[in-house]
Amino acid sequence: MYFDLKQIITVYHGTTSLIDAIDVDQGKPYKDFGRGFYVTQNYTHARNLAVRNKCFERERKGQESVAYVYAYALDMNKAQSYKILEFALADLDWLRFVLANRRVRGRSHNYDIVFGPTANDDTSLVLKSYFGGLYGDVDSERALRTALDMIESENLPAQIYFGSNRATACLEQKGTVRKV
């Protein structure tokens, strides 16, 4: 397990949206672990995601927005009561799971909470090459292993995914929201 189940940890969510209440159905589709709500223990990673989304909205949609980082207390003891999946490493099982979720608008599983590495921007390029058949036939063992070799898994920050609104009860917003 990533964390001691008896501890409360601080996690961050970077966004361009004001959040009154978490709603996993508002998450973007085709993400690593499916449509849902994502947090990380790495403040810098959350901030970078918020700023990236702000730039995306300005460049591609012509919208000016504000980047925010929310801080939450995640009660790992409460999390135990939900259906959890954990990937300690970016391995073949993790890659197959990410690929399955990136193929569907919603999610390909019924887990409430998933812990594991984030497929970052560099990883996304590898996944596009994989889906394009650059590494061999899609879903072949050769293509999967080549894609995994191309991913610098040691550089992937950890993320925590919430796939059900009831599981977000483990999160309590801490303090004020930071504009970045």
Inter-residue long-range contacts of 46-55, CB under 8 Å, 24+ positions, other chains counted: 46/12, 46/13, 46/14, 47/12, 47/14, 47/180, 48/14, 49/14, 49/15, 50/14, 50/15, 50/16, 50/180, 51/14, 51/180, 52/121, 53/14, 53/15, 53/16, 54/16
Query: For residues 122 and 128, what is the distance between their CA atoms, to the nearest angstrom?
Result: 10
- Residue 5: its pLDDT value, please? 61
Query: What value does the mean pLDDT take over residues 25-31?
Result: 93
Task: Inform me whether the pLDDT recorded for 156 exceeds 90.
Answer: no
Per-residue pLDDT of 68-81, as tens digits, reads: 999 999 999 999 99
pTM of the model: 0.90
For a pLDDT cut of 90, what percent of the chain falls above it?
Answer: 76
Position 176 confidence tier, pLDDT thresholds 50, 70, 90: confident
Domain boundaries, the chain: 8-179
pLDDT band at 34 (very low <50, low <70, confident <90, very high): very high
What is the pLDDT at residue 63?
85
pLDDT of the residue at 154: 75
Q: Give percent above pLDDT 70 in the chain.
A: 96
| pLDDT number for residue 142 | 95
Q: Is the pLDDT of residue 13 over 90?
A: yes
140-146: Cβ within 8 A, 24+ apart: 144/92, 144/95, 144/96, 145/92
| pLDDT tens, position by position, 85-115 | 999 999 999 999 999 999 999 899 999 999 9
Contact partners, residue 139, CB within 8 Å, separation at least 6: none
> Does the pLDDT at position 1 exceed 70?
no
Whether pLDDT at 6 is above 80: no
